[in-house]
Structure 1
Amino acid sequence: MPDQDPSAIPEFDLRRDGYAAVDWAANYLEKARELPVMAQVSPGDIASALPERMPETAEPFSDVLADLDRVILPGITHWQHPRFFSYFATTSSEPAILAEMLAATLNQVSFIWRASPASTELETVTMSWLADLLGLDPAWHGHIEDTASTSTLAALVAARHASGRHAVVFSEHAHSSVEKDARILGMQPRPMPTDEAFRMRTAAVAEQLARGDVAAVVSTAGTTSSASFDPTPELAELCARHGAWLHVDAAYAGSAWACPELRDSQAGVAEADSLVVNPHKWLLVPMDCSALFTRRPAALREAFTIVPEYLRTTDEAANLSDYGPALGRRFRSLKLWAAMRCFGRAGIQEFIRRSVGLAHEFAGWVEADPRWELVHVSLSLACFRFNGTDEENLAIVERVNRGGQIFITHTRLSGRIVLRLAVGYLHTTREDVQLAWSVLNG
């Protein structure tokens, strides 16, 4: 055994380094607007700038911060940028950032209640707050997973376990994680065609359910490409008739239900078996935080509960690991709790309304310009295209993203390339959206 060297384990000054880290974070958020939104690097640039091996001896944390600026920051695509208009609305906030640091400090591993009573019970309370904010049934069970991919996976596991069936039905515009989850579980994925409004056709679903082998139907409330809404009420009736599990994917749009006037897409959700909403998209918390609600918690518990001897206790309390795939669970509720407290219902509603308003104002500019076509607008997402070829539209996406002033994505709707602009960052202003319109027309 080598000789021991106590000096090899360094001591750190958490206050000194912590203040420096918080200063770095505050400075970053203040200057993000000045940075190119999409990382302007090529594949391999970051890796080649890093040593091949870790250091043999300890380095100070100040060196880590220095390399964060020198090496890492050039390779960051800035999701915390006011002109990040790609994918879906996603934003963190100052209270949640600080809470994430505190969660890492406490480093809870809440697999059973005894391992972290506070994490378990705060999660239960926070999910109750979230259900109230979104206008959901307070009797539903709720817990937090990492992402909607995992929340949907948990729902499909429960559906398969409860039904003994192996097919999963979903829209051709559903998030790719639905098909991926079905593949992981060895279930049969069956994408369904959509109508002119990009909603899953109920007649096609009915045909599948009549076969008697469908374990679950996934209804999307806010599809990835266009934020369209599947006909959940009709799907709920069909699933009830045929004994299939109905899972609603409202990972993006569910946050909008914080505003009572934006709850039209909630129709039928009360009859669903499970529902996922991602607070890390539009409710001001950083990745990862995915809320899974169910009115059939016993089905999830039956599918997931395995209690080895070393986890058996006499505590009469719920263990949240019994309701999902993971045993070890992070203290994710702390950041959601902090954001909900520090913004309040009114602050969250104002932020969502502002995001929706900006997207619709942008859509109005598109609709008024004969050079452009407005394809679809829903909540804080506008889908549009230049009146030209698919190649011209793809060239616009590449041009504006390489320019660094904005970052958008594209999709394909009705066989055509369509551009997407999604509003959802906390500090995005009307001037940012106006700049995006100017850059697109540049």
Structure 2
Amino acid sequence: MPKDLVPELMARAAEELEREFGLLPDFEPARASDTAGDVMGAVLQETAQRLGDNYPYFHPMYAGQMLKPPHPVARAAYALAMSINPNNHARDGGRASSAMEIEAVAEIAGMFGWSEYLGHLTSGGTMANLEALWVAGQVAADKRVVGSEQAHYTHHRISGVLKLEYGSVAADARGRMRLDALEDELRKGDVGTVVVTLGSTAIGAVDPLPEILVLRDRHGFRVHVDAAYGGYFKLIEDALDEPAGRAFAAIGQADSIVIDPHKHGLQPYGCGCVLFRDPGVGRFYKHDSPYTYFTSKELHLGEISLECSRAGAAAVALWTTQRLLPLKPGGEFARGLAAGRRAAVELDRRLRSDGRIEALTAGGPELDIVVWKMKAATAELATALGQSIFSACAERNLHLALVQLPQFWFGPEHPSSALEGYVTCLRSVLMKPEHEAWLHRIWTELSAVCTEVENG
């Protein structure tokens, strides 16, 4: 979308919103001083200067962490909603935005094949996962929660907050939960919930969900899918390698799902979403607060959420984005995901053809995250080389990330003593559709930096 078009479209929408309230009596807000505009302008100029002290997250040459700019229509819709500042805790506080949230969440649930469910937006993935594990603790009281050692660290922390015992399950050389290690935990008879990660933070690893569902039939536990990062890849499951594709095909069989629209969903922070397959879990949320809004007899979102005040603007931005870019296979939104996936596969191919670099032994990226380490005699030397390349790339305006990974991921699947421990690796998240077109530039800069560092 051309940059100069956004202000014009925003101005038209703002005029339309003003007309919506045209029947109200005239109202003049408190008059600002004559110098207020000058002062405000100066403060905003200072704000812009301060914001310049950031990495260029919006640019294709930023290929480091899981950071993706919101779509222009999401930014515009968010700003439009902020002129009202709705609160989606209750329909009184956000009548239109609550309805928009319900509709937007229904489209996300439909992406997973759910038409009956309980779900809502949250302030982010951490809160969404907390709600999922809180419900799990209500359903399976005094039972343990287990997840892969590559699951997000907050699951352990959340379990502690909820007074639930948490167990870590070993991962294989592709960062996926080992089924034999999971079965060892299940045989103990005290596991109530298994957290299955579809898109780990470190490398985008996809746990073997279909096989875990078979174990659920045998051992009787809840399956919570943390798809905060990877959930939208459901739309392009046929473009993924077979194990990952099978996992996303089975996601609708989970008991709960978390997805973050503020990652691949083109939304501003914070916008997470939690979904429960059984709408009956809403009974755990019931309350009889005397100060909740009661002007509507319809169920309001505050009655199915642990959070109270929530930004209605986040729901408006998500609804608007999904109206423009529906969540359907083959659509424009899905094509953007596929472009990032192709860029990651191609970067991995180029890395594997470079004799100075070691890619993951067990295979390439499952989603759109690529990791590699520099070849060196020891982990310490490989770490030092990686850190040097990270810094030198940044000087060329190519921004990567660093991640510590098990050494045996770059060697035999069962590590020898020489492959124990961790090594600092380079990591690239190619989640912007533009990364595919910019891959040649990214590779040219990276290769040049490797040569510079190699030559001292």
Q: What's the TM-score bracket when you normalise by the shorter of the two chains?
A: 0.7 to 0.9
Q: 2:392 aligns with which of 364, 388, 399?
A: 399
The structural deviation recorded for 1:402 is: 4.7
Deviation of residue 135 (structure 1)? 4.1
Cα distance, 1:19 vs structure 2: 6.8
Residues 138-177 of structure 1, C-alpha deviations (whole Å, 9 max, x = no match): 2233311111111110011101111112522010111112
Q: Distance in 2 between matches of 1:213 and 1:103?
A: 47
Q: Which residue of 2 aligns with 1:105?
A: 83
TM-score for both structures, normalised by structure 1 = 0.81
Asked if 1:327 corresponds to 2:308, the answer is yes
Residue pair 1:119, 1:333 contacting (<8 A) in 2 also: yes
Partner Cα separation in structure 2 for residue 314 and residue 112 of structure 1: 10
Give the match's secondary structure for 1:291. strand
Question: Are residues 336 and 309 of structure 1, via their aligned partners in 2, closer, same or farther at CA, if it must alter by over 3 Å?
Answer: same
Following superposition, the deviation at residue 74 of structure 1 comes to: 3.4
Contact preservation (8 Å) 2:149, 2:168? yes
Q: Does 1:146 align with 2:131?
A: no
The match for 2:369 among 381, 401, 407 is 381
CA separation in 2, counterparts of 1:183 and 1:75? Answer: 35
1:143 and 1:293 in contact (8 A); partners too? yes
Residue 68 of structure 2 is aligned with which of 57, 75, 90?
90
Q: What CA distance in whole angstroms lies between the structure 1 residues aligned with 2:297 and 2:48?
A: 49
Whole-angstrom CA distance in 2 between matches of 1:181 and 1:401: 34
Moved more, 121-130 or 341-350: 341-350
Preserved CA contact (<8 Å) 1:91 1:283:
no
Q: Distance in 2 between matches of 1:307 and 1:239?
A: 35
In the other structure, the counterpart of 1:308 is 289
1:416 is matched with 423
1:356 aligns with 2:356: no
Q: Which amino acid aligns with 2:87?
A: V
Q: Can you list the C-alpha shifts for 1:221-250, whole angstroms capped at 9, x where unaligned? A: 011111111111222233344342211011
1:168 aligns with 2:172: no
Structure 2 Cα separation of the partners of residues 379 and 110 of structure 1: 33
**Cα deviations across residues 253-274 of structure 1 (Å, max 9, x unaligned)?**
1112222524433143222110
Contact 1:252–1:281 (CA under 8 A) maintained in structure 2: yes
> 2 CA distance for matches of 1:104 and 1:373?
48
Could you say what secondary structure the match of 2:210 adopts? helix
Determine whether 1:254 maps to 2:231: yes
Alpha-carbon spacing, 1:136–1:418, altered in 2? closer, same or farther (3 Å): farther
> Would the aligned equivalents of 1:278 and 1:291 in 2 still touch at CA under 8 Å?
yes
Look up the SS of the partner of 1:109 in the other structure.
coil
Match of residue 289 from structure 1: 271
CA distance in 1, matches of 2:52, 2:299: 45
Question: What's the offset of the Cα at 1:181?
Answer: 1.0
Partner of 2:99: 121
Q: Is the 8 A contact 2:210 2:247 kept in 1?
A: no
Change (3 A) 1:182 1:401: farther
Indicate the larger mover: 267-276 or 216-225.
267-276
CA distance in structure 1 between the partners assigned to 2:387 and 2:443 by the alignment: 16
* Cα pair distance change 1:312/1:98, threshold 3 Å: closer
Counterpart amino acid of residue 375 in structure 2: N
Closer, same or farther: CA 316–238 of 1 in aligned 2, 3 Å: farther
> What's the % identity of the aligned pairs?
23
Q: How many equivalent pairs are there?
A: 387
Structure 2 SS opposite 1:418? strand
Distance 1:421 1:397 in 2: 11
